[in-house]
Structures are given as structure tokens and as C-alpha cells.
Chains A and B, each alone.
Chain A
Amino acid sequence: MFVYMDHTATTPTSPEVMKAMMPYFGEVFGNPSSVYSFSRKSRTAIEKARKQVADALNADPSEIYFTGSGTEADNWALKGTLEKAKSKGKNHLITTSIEHHAILHSAEFLEGYEGVDVTYLPVDSEGKVSVEDVKNAITDKTALVSVMFANNEVGTIEPVAEIGALCRELKIPFHTDAVQAAAHLDIDVKAMNIDMLSMSAHKMYGPKGVGALYLRKGIFPVNFIHGGAQERKHRASTENIAGIVGFGEAMEILKGRLKEDKAVNSARRDRLIAGIMERIPHAKLNGATGEDRLPNNVNFSFIGVEGETLLLDLDAKGISASTGSACSSESLDPSHVLLALGLKHEMAHGSLRFTIGRLTTDEHIDYLLEVLPEIVAKRRAMSPLWEDYLKSIGE
């Protein structure tokens, strides 16, 4: 059995989306920037996709700029905004300690090479940022506030609308990385007072290699990719037409089934969480619960075991999952998100993330609940840390 439990890493491009994309690889190949009538088909296709994406966010199509990825959208928002703010003497960026590396490493770049002061806001034990902390961090030098919509590792949903309202009141640009959230939640950029928002197609059953940055009318970070006049002179490079068409299609389909998906996913999520708690002793759920958690995210720490071993044991049983353990990364540090939530290193090393989605069935949840307790028990039995832990709690 192939049980894919890593929908947050990426999703398969859906057949309907692929079908919509196909003509733009061969038949309709014209460069949208060309003058002749043949190219009009390519231009029209891009504009249709722009409207599909805009409609899903309650934005205007003129506010959507296609990029090569969600990471590029994040880089553009941060670097472009801080670069532009320089002339106004503003050099302060506020973000959080649990952002995706696309934000964190952009912030570090700005700190290191552009003399930007960065405030990394802490989060509570569930991974939530406090609006009060955002408010207190704002100074007259603040050029941008960037807080992710929902966290990719633990699924915690941030108080984006409240932060948006605060920033709008204080006239400070507000960016949110919605790469995960856009695949699961209803987002209304107007109602939520969002100025900039990053998205990625491959997290929502669209193709890889295409993302978008929403820029509220009148908000223009300086350009990030320089060259031709594409994307109304704001993002150079010949358009990835098939990718953009796929993104638009994926977004429209997603929007149409969002409510239904949310109900199905959150029911499976909660069954998986309850099942793990019931079957595995000393399992700790990381992140928030209920409405404050992405409907598809399950993240646990199993004291005494190390995440990579669990991943390999699960892989041997046909299950694909993810971990915040250092052993699965190129560095030796465990997940910065789990550490920010206050987890001890050994708990962060012992984390597993399961993210459900369209490939998930009820049988998959049953199978995982059957296999996982045995795997955790097997690895705990050979762990000196588990032995020490049991002694420390008197068992």
C-alpha cells in the first residue's frame, strides 16, 4: 500500500489541471509579449488564470503577479519592500521565529548585507504569535510586518486578520506567507487587510515552478527579477504559461471544494490525533487544536525515539511522512519551529508530521494507526533515552 502523508511537502498535479495545461506546451506556444495575433491566445490564457487566482482571494486581477515559486514571492516581498523603504529612512522588519526558511533566510540576508534590523517575534507553546507583541515591536523605523498565515510544520493558524487591521491602522505594510494556508483556508485579502500575500501552486494540486505575489493596489516593492516588461513591468522573464494556466485552474477547483475538503480533512486529522494519543503512550501533540490548526496537519513528538528512524521504518511499510529531526536535514539542528514552541531538543528530534489531502483515504488512517504504535515501541525498546525517561517519571 502506498500511503502518502506528506501533502504539505507537495501535492500531485490533478488530472483536470494537467489537461488544462497541455495545450500550452505545444499547440499554443506563442510568446505573450509578441505583437502578432497568434500570441494573443497565450496572453488571454494568462489573464484568465490571473482572474481565477484573484477571485479566490477576493482581489482584483491587476493585484496578482505570477512568480517562479512561493519562495520567490517571499523574497520579493521582503527584499523589495526593505530596499524601497531605505529612501524613507526605514530599516526595520518584524517577522516571527517560526517562518519558513524563504522568509527567515531572506531576513537574515537583509540583516547581513543591507543593515536591516529584524525583530523575530516569539510564539506561545502552540505556535501562536501575539498581536500585542506585534504592536509593541513596531517603531517609526518599521518598514514591513511579515507573519505567516499558517505554519507548515505544526499547522498553527496565526491571527492574520487582527495583525492586518493593526498594520492598516498604523499604515505599515503587512505581508503574509500563505503558501500552506491558501490550500486549505478561505482567504479574503480585503476583509483581512492584507497588503502582500505569497502563494505556491504545487501545494494545491497545481504544478511546481509557479507561485504568485498579491500586491494590494498601490503597494509596489521594488522589482526582484530584472529584465523584460512582463507582469506589467514588475516581474521580468517570459511567462511560464502552462504553469500559470495550471495554477489558475488548480485555484478555481480548490475554491469550489474548499468547504467540503476542510470537513473531510479535519475529521480525518482529529481521528488520527485521537488514535495516536490512545495507542501510543507519552505522545505529545505539537501545535494548536481545532479551528486554530490547519485541517490537514498532524504533528507529534515521541520521546525516546528519533524522527529519521521512524521515517525509514514507516517508509519500509509504504508510508511517506516528514520529521523535524536534525537527522533528516543537512544540518545537525532540529526544527527551528519546534524549538520556538519550547520543545527540548530530544523532543524536537523525535517529531513526526503527517499531512493529509486528496490522496488520503479512511483506510490510510486505519493502516497508519495500526503500523505506527509497533514502530515507536520497537525503537523505544532499543533507546537508552526512553529508559532514562521512564525512570525519571517513576515507571
Chain B
Amino acid sequence: MALDYSQKVMDHFINPRNVGEIENADGIGEAGNPKCGDIMKIYLKVNPDTKIIDDVKFKTFGCASAIASSSMATEMIKGRSVEDAWNLTNSAVAEALDGLPPIKMHCSVLAEEAIHEALNDYRAKHGMEIIPIGHHED
């Protein structure tokens, strides 16, 4: 054990931002599975006129880096357009956290996947085409 987490990871783990659910969310996405020990669920509220993500919440089962990745990723897409949110990469999330231990990189991948799932759910609900998502083996 004795994993070396950055101060940013510990900060987002101890005081996670945007925890919770959104009633009547415009998009809900989930990634991971309990077998691997990580599940991440993202809720989006999108402004119908501007297509800006007005609110985002998450619920995560997983280790400290999974919780920190969810917290950071939600901060990074809040107030951004749905297009910008789609382009958020796992490495950008990890970088914003001042890095993750190599064995924990999959946690940032999970955040990217959960956001993509939520955006696709939003697209489906609004009659838009679903964008295929490349799933990572974790």
C-alpha cells in the first residue's frame, strides 16, 4: 500500500466537489463495474438554449483516485459546452490532479467514460446520434 497521492488528489478525495444526484437530469452515464472495484455515475443538467452544462453531479464507488477523478472531472466540465465536455480526456483529468500513480490511471479513464455515457444519454434523449465509445479493459 502506501500509495503516493498528490495533494490535489487528497484534497478532492477528502472534500469531493459536486457529489450527489440531479433530479430529472438531461443525461445520466455510468462506467466501471463492482467486480473491478469502481463504479462512477454522472448526472448532467444542460441548458436547452446555450447547450452549456449548467450543473453536474456524481456518485462514485471506488478508491481515493476514483473519487478524486470524478470530482475533478465534474469541475472541469461544469459551465462548459457539451462539445467541450466530450473532448475532455482522461489524461487531462489526471494532469489536473497533478498526476495519478500508474496503477490508478484507469480511474481517470473511468471519469472520461462516464461523461461520454452521460453525454450520449443526453444526445439520445434529444434525438441526436449516439457517438460510439471505445471501452477500456479494466
Contact = CB atoms under 8 A, between A and B. Distances in A.
Interface of A: 304-306, 308-309, 311-313, 316, 322, 325-330, 332, 334, 344-346, 349, 381-387
Interface residues of B, number: 28
Interface stretch (B33-41, B45-53, B115-123): B33-41
Q: Which DSSP category, helix, strand, loop or mixed, fits chain B's interface?
A: mixed
B32 to A, nearest CB: 9
B64 A383 contact: no
A330 B35 CA distance: 16
B108 interface: no
A312 B13 contact: yes
A306 B103 contact: no
Contacts of A328: 1, 3
B60 interface: yes
Nearest to B34: A346
Contacts of B14: 313, 316
A308 B63 CA distance: 6
Interface of B: 1, 3, 10, 13-14, 16, 19-20, 30, 34-41, 58-64, 66-67, 103, 138
Given A309-B67, A316-B14, A329-B1, A386 B61 contact: yes
Given A312-B13, A329-B1, A346-B34, A384 B63 contact: no
A283 to B, nearest CB: 16
Given A330-B103, A345-B34, A346-B34, A382 B1 contact: no
4 closest A-B pairs by CB:
A327-B63, A346-B34, A385-B61, A349-B37
A314 to B, nearest CB: 12
A344 B37 CA distance: 11
B13 A306 contact: no
Given A312-B64, A316-B14, A382 B19 contact: yes
Contacts of B103: 330, 332
B37 to A, nearest CB: 4
18 contacts: A306-B62, A309-B13, A309-B64, A311-B1, A325-B63, A328-B3, A345-B36, A346-B34, A346-B35, A346-B37, A349-B37, A382-B19, A382-B58, A382-B60, A383-B39, A383-B59, A383-B60, A384-B61
